[in-house]
């Protein structure tokens, strides 16, 4: 079988997966390992450790947010364009609804993550209750992963769909679904 690779979509997908993995993995580690472990430290050591972790982790958080927003929005518009060209202009209602929910949940995750690594006074109360907010973020992230799995199943194209010069290439995973139809 001849499968044409859309390199832009492939890179965007990997950006999305790596950034999401960092966000979920980092949240799991911080909630289940780091937060309980620092509870045994005295106040001075705890503040020093928190400052060092915040200084380093904030860069990862901001990069993950940037990569997720860029790759997610570009993928959304690529998928939208593909559906408009291959389904007589009809976008699956489920796709739009689930993407909207996923996007809103992601914005909440971005806010909580930013607040937890920030230094501002406005979010100090959140940092003082970090275990709770890490738990909330963990549940939101797991919900986003579940929605993403369902969204991936909506990318099914007609069995006879083949990218051509007059139709822009679509995401690699979409082409794979069409091939396995």
- DSSP assignments along 10-74, one per residue: HHHHHHHHHHHHHHHHHHHHIIIIIHHHHTTS-HHHHHHHHHHHHHHHHHHHHHHHHHHHHHHHH
pTM: 0.79
- The answer to whether residue 64 scores a pLDDT higher than 70 is yes
| pLDDT of 13 | 87
Q: Are 79 and 174 in contact (CB under 8 A)?
A: yes
- Contacts of residue 118, Cβ cutoff 8 Å, sequence gap at least 6: 58, 127
Cα distances from 74 to residues 2, 79, 103, in angstroms, run: 25, 9, 13
Instruction: List the end-to-end C-alpha distance of the chain, in Å, as a whole number.
Output: 14
| pLDDT of 77 | 84
- The answer to whether residue 92 scores a pLDDT higher than 70 is yes
| pLDDT of 174 | 43
């Amino acid at each position: 079988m001849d499968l044409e690779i859309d390199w832009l979509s492939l890179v965007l997908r990997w950006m999305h997966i790596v950034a999401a993995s960092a966000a979920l993995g980092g949240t799991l580690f911080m909630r289940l390992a780091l937060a309980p472990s620092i509870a045994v430290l005295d106040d001075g050591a705890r503040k020093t450790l928190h400052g060092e972790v915040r200084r380093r982790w904030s860069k990862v958080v901001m990069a993950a947010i940037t990569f997720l927003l860029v790759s997610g929005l570009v993928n959304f518009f690529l998928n939208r364009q593909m559906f408009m060209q291959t389904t007589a202009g009809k976008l699956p209602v489920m796709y739009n609804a689930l993407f909207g929910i996923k996007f809103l949940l992601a914005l909440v995750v971005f806010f909580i993550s930013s607040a937890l690594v920030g230094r501002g006074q406005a979010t100090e109360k959140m940092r003082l209750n970090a275990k709770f907010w890490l738990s909330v973020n963990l549940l939101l992230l797991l919900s986003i992963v579940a929605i993403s799995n369902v969204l991936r199943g909506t990318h099914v194209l007609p069995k006879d769909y083949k990218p051509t010069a007059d139709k822009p290439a679509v995401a690699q995973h979409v082409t794979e679904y069409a091939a396995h139809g």
